[in-house]
């Protein structure tokens, strides 16, 4: 019974997710960001270092940028429902707050993961073809093992960033506030901490979600790449930890909230 109810809640959330244009615009925007970042990082790798690399490697480097698209994609299903009051109709239909939040998290995270894996694959192919042009000389290939591993990690990364966003959005409710908070967490705070030069603060900066995500993805092509000298699994643990904290905060606030 509860499984049925949860599956139905997920179905309803999916129906809501795909029936507004903003979802599709966010996907397009994320794709454009991903492509632009990957071409840039790909060209950089091709001209800078020599040698060959998997065409997914520059896609992975681009995560530092296209995560913004994932944030937007994951934020709007939550904040737009609050802005319009639609959340009241939705919660009337699914009055168990935990179930409602779970459905939202499942839909947003899986959509972000699937879209990122598919987009990453297409982008990798485009990057490989692009780098066959002069003056790059075709250094990028599509070796099965590394490509699959990169794509799976990208999917996992996208799901976690989406969940982090859902947690913050549920707690904050407003789009502007959510964006400001996530911008601070993903970009401003690490820069600020790193610029202090204090060793423990720099270490912390590298373990905030963006650094943790890049470490987990094994990204080496961004300026922070060389600094991320801790194991990928530690990166995953940090990112998952931040996500769990955000979701826990969102859930706690949501449970006691009058809608």
Which residues are at the interface with another protein (CB under 8 A)? Answer: 1, 4-5, 8-9, 11-13, 15-16, 19-22, 80-81, 84-96, 256, 258-259
Answer whether 33's CB lies under 8 Å from 62's CB. yes
CB of 81 to another protein, least distance (A): 6
Answer whether 67's CB lies under 8 Å from 37's CB. no
Nearer to another protein, 79 or 165 (CB): 79
Nearer to another protein, 67 or 90 (CB): 90
Of residues 95, 14, 74, 102, the one with CA closest to residue 259: 95
3-state secondary structure (DSSP) of residue 53 = strand
Nearer to another protein, 61 or 81 (CB): 81
3-state secondary structure (DSSP) of residue 54 = strand
CB of 179 to another protein, least distance (A): 19
**What is the rounded CA–CA span in Å between residue 183 and residue 239?**
16
CB of 7 to another protein, least distance (A): 10
Nearer to another protein, 22 or 40 (CB): 22
DSSP assignment of 134-189 equals TTT---EE--HHHHHHHHHHHHHHHHHHHHHHHHHHHHH-SHHHHHHHHHIIIIIH
Q: Which residues contact 174 (CB under 8 A, 6 or more apart)?
A: 79, 82, 83
CB of 174 to another protein, least distance (A): 15
Nearer to another protein, 95 or 135 (CB): 95
Residue 180's CB is within 10 A of a number of other CB atoms, namely 13
CB of 166 to another protein, least distance (A): 17
CB of 173 to another protein, least distance (A): 14
């Amino acid at each position: 019974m509860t499984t049925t109810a949860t599956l139905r809640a997920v179905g309803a959330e999916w129906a809501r997710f795909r029936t507004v244009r903003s979802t599709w615009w966010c996907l397009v925007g994320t794709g454009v960001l991903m492509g632009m970042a990957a071409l840039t990082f790909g060209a950089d790798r091709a001209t800078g270092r020599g040698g060959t690399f998997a065409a997914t490697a520059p896609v992975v480097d681009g995560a530092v940028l296209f995560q913004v698209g994932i944030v937007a994609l994951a934020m709007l299903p939550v904040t737009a429902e609050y802005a319009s009051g639609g959340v009241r109709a939705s919660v009337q239909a699914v009055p168990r707050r935990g179930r409602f939040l779970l459905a939202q998290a499942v839909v947003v995270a899986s959509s972000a993961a699937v879209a990122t894996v598919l987009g990453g694959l297409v982008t990798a192919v485009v990057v490989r073809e692009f780098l066959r042009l002069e003056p790059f000389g075709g250094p990028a290939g599509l070796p099965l093992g590394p490509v699959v591993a990169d794509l799976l990690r990208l999917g996992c990364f996208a799901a976690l960033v989406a969940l982090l966003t859902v947690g913050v959005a549920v707690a904050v409710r407003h789009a502007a506030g959510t964006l400001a908070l996530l911008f601070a967490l993903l970009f401003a705070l690490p820069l600020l901490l790193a610029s202090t030069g204090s060793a423990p603060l720099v270490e912390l900066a590298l373990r905030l979600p963006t650094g943790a995500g890049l470490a987990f993805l094994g990204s080496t092509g961004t300026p922070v790449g060389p600094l991320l000298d801790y194991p990928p699994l530690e990166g995953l643990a940090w990112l998952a930890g931040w996500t769990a904290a955000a979701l826990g905060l969102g859930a706690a606030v949501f449970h006691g909230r009058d809608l």
